[in-house]
């Protein structure tokens, strides 16, 4: 019930009811709900979320939530924070539990940006393709949130933290590829022509290694796995001692149904 | 202790001890041990195994073990049956739990065969490269078990059953690429030249769909993801309603350390 939620009493209510094996699933992108996870976990209620806010606030809150989840023996699961239902967070966790750690992560995390850059050929104006992605339901309601790279930055931050890095949002090195004026077709056409000249494909790539965490537009060579991504598919490659050539996961990384199936997987792990 | 095992008393002993949260991890390829899983599960002891035997015997035994594991509330986990620690079995399970099912599986499952066909260029004799794979520890002690396709057949059968198919070993359609005489360099050189002519790469590919289950040597085009597999990497692509372009997992699918880490993951899920 919307009203119950609006004044926060829905969460008070489930804490008060104190039912066994409760799972709180957050399918919003709401800041205030993310700040209530602490209360929920302390009440021994599992939290499953596709909301990226809690994991991208300060490290203090991040550590606090994770520590509390452990001490309360309560699952806090957020596989859908990165790549919808694709197994990314759980793979990093499994690696680390076995004494292996990703030494380097390369990822192409935005289904929207992959779609847009795959479609753009310098003919149809760039902003038209963004509108198209939006009307097909691939992009956020405000597609600028997607193409500004803000969403990718959050996913990259979450992956870096999952790899064990103590890192704040401000330390993720992102370079926006947007022109000061929007739309500015000339800007995008020159990016496209540059990629053609280098015989590559434009991709928004995240990189995590001991030199830092960054995300930005790159021209990847045709033979690189990111170049061949289709539709809204995303790709994550984890390099570690056991996976020197990389452990690669690839597939639909956006979409309501995919995210819902990822949430169900997480919920099933709680019970 | 080898002797304890030899007369089967090791298993009797752990059943008799009846300790809480016991996990029986089978790292052998032994037929007789696989036949004892039933007793072990009935004693409420979890079974974690990289041994493919139990899951490739008749459907009767397969169904029996899986039913008993459910009714005894005991984990029976075998992620390492296919692709070492790569998440393949668990992905198929998760898909099915969410109401999605793989409609088609394409896989390149033998690290050994991938290594051999990537190295073979018609110059160095084929059997030398097989020996090389063997001495590098990639192949089974008897490399013929690998290159005969027997091992791939078992993995393919296990994947098909995991997808929900009732299928026996005899129904897996495998075509051996081995010549009647071994070694017969002429045979392999002509296979290689054919692949060159078609501008592709030789790969031993498994396919599972509603038309059946098969595994055999194929010439895959250069742009196909299987063509670019490096070293002993393997690849599995699951196609389903939610993943029309495929959900792809790729990486080191063989090796003692990788398999050990997969076993540890499974054991950690039991406790």
Q: What is the pLDDT along chain A (271 residues), one digit of tens a residue?
A: 455 566 678 899 999 998 989 999 999 989 999 999 999 999 999 999 999 999 999 999 999 999 999 999 999 999 999 999 999 999 999 999 999 999 999 999 998 899 999 999 999 999 999 988 888 877 766 778 788 899 999 999 999 999 999 999 999 999 888 888 888 899 999 999 999 999 999 999 999 999 999 999 999 998 899 998 988 899 999 999 999 999 999 999 988 899 999 999 999 999 8
From the list B91, B231, B244, the residue facing A245 with the nearest CB is B231
Residues of B in contact with A97 (CB under 8 A): 264-265, 268
- Tell whether B35 is within 8 A of chain A (Cβ): no
Q: Annotated catalytic residue: which of B52, B155, B214, B218?
A: B155
Domains and CATH numbers, chain A: 2-77 (3.40.50.720), 96-252 (3.30.360.10)
Phi-psi region of B21 (alpha: psi -120 to 50; beta: other; left: phi over 0): left
Q: Which of residues 128-187 of A touch B (CB under 8 A)?
A: none
Question: In this prediction, does ipTM exceed 0.90?
Answer: yes
The burial of A1, by beta-carbon neighbours within 10 Å (0-12 exposed, 13-18 middle, 19 or more buried), is given as: exposed
Residue pLDDT, tens place only, B140-167: 667 787 888 999 999 999 999 999 999 9
- Tell whether A268 is within 8 A of chain B (Cβ): yes
Residue pLDDT, tens place only, B61-99: 999 999 999 999 999 999 999 999 999 999 999 999 999
Q: Distance (Å) from the C-alpha of residue B17 to the closest C-alpha of chain A?
A: 28
What is the interface size between A and B, counted as CB pairs within 8 Å?
Answer: 95
- Tell whether A222 is within 8 A of chain B (Cβ): no
Identify the closest residue of chain A to B101 by CA–CA distance: A261
Asked if the Cβ–Cβ distance from B230 to A247 is below 8 Å, we say no
State the DSSP H helix or E strand holding residue B239, giving kind and residue range, or none if neither.
strand B233-239
Q: What is the DSSP letter of B246?
A: -
Judge contact between B121 and B192, C-beta under 8 A. yes
From the list B91, B249, B261, the residue facing A98 with the nearest CB is B261
Q: Which of residues 77-116 of A touch B (CB under 8 A)?
A: 85-87, 90-91, 94-95, 97-100
Judge contact between B119 and B129, C-beta under 8 A. yes
Q: How far is CA A247 from CA A92, A244, B121, B205, B236, in A?
A: 10, 8, 27, 20, 12
Q: Is A155 a catalytic residue?
A: yes
Phi-psi region of B83 (alpha: psi -120 to 50; beta: other; left: phi over 0): left
Identify the closest residue of chain A to B98 by CA–CA distance: A261
From the list B94, B100, B265, the residue facing A98 with the nearest CB is B265
């Amino acid at each position: 019930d919307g009203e119950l939620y609006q004044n926060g009493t829905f969460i008070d209510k489930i804490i008060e009811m104190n039912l066994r094996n409760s799972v709180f699933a957050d399918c919003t992108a709401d800041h205030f709900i993310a700040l209530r996870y602490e209360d929920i976990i302390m009440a021994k209620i599992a939290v499953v979320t596709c909301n990226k806010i809690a994991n991208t606030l300060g490290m203090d809150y991040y550590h606090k939530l994770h520590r509390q989840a452990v001490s309360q023996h309560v699952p806090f699961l957020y596989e859908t924070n990165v790549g919808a239902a694709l197994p990314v967070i759980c793979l990093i966790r499994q690696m680390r539990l076995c004494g292996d750690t990703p030494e380097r992560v390369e990822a192409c995390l935005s289904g929207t940006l992959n779609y847009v850059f795959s479609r753009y050929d310098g003919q149809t104006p760039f902003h038209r393709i963004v509108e198209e992605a939006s009307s097909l339901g691939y992009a956020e309601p405000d597609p600028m949130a997607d193409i500004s790279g803000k969403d990718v930055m959050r996913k990259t931050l979450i992956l870096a933290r999952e790899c064990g890095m103590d890192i704040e949002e401000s330390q993720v090195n992102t370079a926006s590829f947007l022109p000061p004026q929007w739309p500015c077709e000339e800007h995008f056409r020159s990016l496209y022509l540059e990629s053609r000249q280098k015989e590559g494909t434009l991709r928004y790539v995240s990189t995590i290694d001991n030199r830092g965490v960054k995300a930005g537009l790159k021209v990847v060579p045709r033979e690189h796995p990111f170049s061949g991504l289709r539709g809204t598919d995303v790709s994550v490659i984890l390099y570690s001692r056991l996976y020197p050539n990389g452990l690669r996961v690839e597939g639909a990384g956006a979409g309501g149904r995919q995210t819902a199936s990822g949430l169900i997987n997480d919920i099933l792990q709680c019970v």
